[in-house]
Amino acid sequence: MCFRPPTANKPVKCPACGMYNPPTMKVCKKCGFDGTEGSGDPSKQKPKNED
């Protein structure tokens, strides 16, 4: 049984890597996909630096 209130926002799936992120995040915490630039092709996005 789920006790989450119906008003709670659902996690958002990253179109680039499939990671589920909180709905308030603007950038994927795994791959760095910028969700603020629309729902364009994820292959054209710049990945975050992983130094």
pLDDT tens column, 25-41: 899 999 999 977 655 45
Whole-angstrom distance, CA of residue 6 vs CA of residue 17:
27
Q: Which residues neighbour 13 within 8 Å (Cβ) at sequence distance 6 or greater?
A: 19, 20, 21
Q: Which pLDDT score, from 0 to 100, does residue 1 have?
A: 62
Sequence-distant (6+) residues with CB within 8 A of 19 are 13, 28, 29, 30, 31
Question: Does the model's pTM come out above 0.75?
Answer: no
The domain spans of the chain are 10-38
